Amino acid sequence: MRLLLLEDDARLRAAYAARLRADGNAVDEVGTLAEAREWLDRVAFDCLVLDRLVPDGDSVDLVTGIEARAERPFILMVSGLGEGDERVKGLTVGADDYLVKPVRLDELVVRVRKLLARQVPRRRGPLELGRVSIDRDRRRVTRDGVTVHLTPTQYAILEQLAINADCVVSKEQLLEHCWDGRPRTRVNPLHSHITRLRKIFAGCLVLESSRRAGYALRVARTEPQATDHVQA
């Protein structure tokens, strides 16, 4: 999932971003409302994590504008303004959740997970793909009941392909949801991760590439077992 993180304190921003990325999210970091608006104009985010008071204003003004959009991301406000009236104000203007500082990083991750789990019905609950199961609440993948250890990026790619199983997911969509605005070291960073996922799930899942279009995931066909014929 792709998140926009607005936090003017550089130390906190780095800590929040690192923990959210470790949970398999792509995170774009900004420190002002102006920067946040620029990102929102060109990227479709799944969730916004917003500090209330930043150098150029209050993020409630940003939320008010987002509410008018036909499709909007989930919004989690994280603020030192913890009084009851301030929390009510944040929720009233359109925030989906409100977390008061100081913030435990594990709680931040759980709050974001719970918001993202509400997206659409097809994204709720575990994803069952034959012998492979993806528990999105725990970010846990199993093959034949045995846990498969993936990097956060590998997990993010697998999840996006699994949500859209049997359909082609464009390279642009995968980059949109699995990478943030940090510089990429490769022209096509997907290739090595797809290759690795193919090896990990060989015999269970097939990751097909569609030239210049993207990738599609499907469950591998199992060959029918041979049976012995007994003559009467």
Same domain, 145 and 179: yes
- State the SS3 of 82-124: CCHHHHHHHHHHCCCEEEECCCCHHHHHHHHHHHHCCCCHHHC
pLDDT tens string 171-227? 887 887 777 766 565 667 788 899 999 999 999 999 998 777 889 999 988 654 444
Q: How wide is the angle at C-alpha 106 spanned by C-alphas 104 and 111, nearest 5°?
A: 95
Q: CA-to-CA distance for 171 and 123, rounded, in angstroms?
A: 20
Residue 166 resides in a domain: yes
The per-residue pLDDT for 65 is 77
Closest Cα partner for 198 from 179, 177, 220, 213?
220
Q: Write down which residue in 58, 86, 116 finishes a domain.
A: 116
pLDDT tens string 41-92? 888 888 999 999 999 999 999 988 786 665 688 999 999 887 888 889 888 8
Same domain, 46 and 81: yes
Total number of domains in the chain: 2
Query: For 94-110, what is the mean pLDDT?
Result: 93
pTM tops 0.75: no
Task: Check residue 127 and report its DSSP letter.
Answer: E
Residue 99's CATH number: 3.40.50.2300
pLDDT tens string 6-49? 999 999 999 999 999 988 888 999 999 999 999 998 888 889 99
pLDDT tens string 142-181? 999 999 999 888 998 998 899 888 888 888 878 877 777 6
Residue 197 resides in a domain: yes
Q: CA-to-CA distance for 33 and 8, rounded, in angstroms?
A: 10
Position 124 pLDDT exceeds 60: no
Same domain, 29 and 67: yes
Same domain, 103 and 134: no
Same domain, 75 and 136: no
Same domain, 85 and 174: no
For a pLDDT cut of 90, what percent of the chain falls above it?
47
Residue 133's CATH number: 1.10.10.10
Range of the domain at 17: 2-116
Q: How wide is the angle at C-alpha 133 spanned by C-alphas 128 and 139, nearest 5°?
A: 120
Residue 202 amino acid letter = A
Q: Write down which residue in 72, 87, 116 finishes a domain.
A: 116
Strand ordering across the sheet containing 205-210: 169-170, 214-219, 205-210
> What does the block give as tokens for 23?
């949970």
How many residues belong to the chain? 232
